[in-house]
Amino acid sequence: MTEEAVTIFGVNCLRHTDPEIRTIGRKLILDVYSNGKREVVRKILIEENRKSKSPSLRSLLDEIADLDAKQARQQTSSSLSGSQKKRPGTKSVRISNDLPKRNGSMQSSCRFCGIALDPIDAAAVERHYHTNCPMFTKCGGCGQVAAVSSLETHKRTECRAQNNYRACSRCGELIDRRLFHRHIARKDCKPPEPYSAKCPLCGSNVTPDNDDGWRKHLTAQCGENPRRRAYQETRRSSLSPASLSAEL
C-alpha cells in the first residue's frame, strides 16, 4: 500500500469511538511517517485537520512535529561532531546544544485550553482531548469527538447521523428532526449577531468568532459545557496562590 492509502486508513481509524482502534490508526500513521514519504503523510494530516479539527489529529501532528525536531537536533549534533573531527589540533571547546527539547521533567500545555500536559505521554494527551478538554465535545449523533466551534460543520459533513438533523431557516442551527416542528413553532430563535457564532451547547452568541472568543466562552461562560467545571478545578489546582489572586 502507498503512503497515501495507509495514512487515509489511519485517519479513518482516528475517527473511531473505540480508543484501541484510534491507537492502531495513530501507530500506523507514525510508522509510515517514519519510514515513508513524510511530505505525503503531513499534507494529508494537515488537510484533514483543517476540515475536522479532530483532537486525535491535532495530537498526532504534535507528535510528528516532535519527530521532526528530534531528527533536526540529531543532524545538528552529527554535523558538529563531524566538523570537530576534521579540525585536529584545535583547542577543545564544549558546545552546548540550546535547541528547545522536551523531556520527562518538562511540561507543555494543551494548545486549545492551556491546561498543563506531559508531552511525552501521548496517550494522556489524547485522553485529555477526548474526555477533559472543554474545547471539545462528543457528537450526540455518532459519538465522535469534535471541536465545539465546528460541531455544526461536523454534523453537516462527517456525522454518520447527519440525516437526523434539519437546518432551521431562521437561526441556521441544525435541529434534531424529531424536535424540528416544536423548534419552529416556538418562533423565538434568532440568527447569530454580527461577528459572532452560536454556541451549539447553550445557544449563546460567541463573540468574537475566533479561537480566543470560543476559549473564553467554553472555559468560563458556557453553562451547558459539561467539561467546564472540571477544567476550572484543574486550572485552580495548578495555579500558584499569587497567580490565582491575580485572576480573581
Q: pLDDT (tens digit, 9 = 90+) per residue, 95-128? A: 233 333 444 444 578 888 988 887 767 778 888 8
- Can you tell me the distance from the alpha carbon of 158 to that of 149, in angstroms, rounded to the nearest whole number? 15
- Can you tell me the distance from the alpha carbon of 231 to that of 133, in angstroms, rounded to the nearest whole number? 7
**What pLDDT is recorded for position 96?**
32
**What pLDDT is recorded for position 166?**
94
- Evaluate if pTM is beyond 0.85: no
Q: pLDDT (tens digit, 9 = 90+) per residue, 169-205? A: 999 899 999 999 999 999 899 888 888 999 999 999 9
- Can you tell me the distance from the alpha carbon of 52 to that of 92, in angstroms, rounded to the nearest whole number? 52
Confidence of residue 242 (pLDDT cuts 50, 70, 90): low
Buried b (16+ CB within 10 A) or exposed e, 142-157: bebbbbbbbbbbbbee
Extract the runs of DSSP E, i.e. beta strands, from the chain. Answer: 108-109, 116-117, 136-138, 145-147, 165-167, 174-176, 197-198, 205-206
For the chain, the domains span: 3-68, 122-234
Asked if residue 24 lies in contact with residue 13, where contact means CB atoms within 8 angstroms, the answer is yes
Q: What percent of the chain has pLDDT over 90?
A: 28
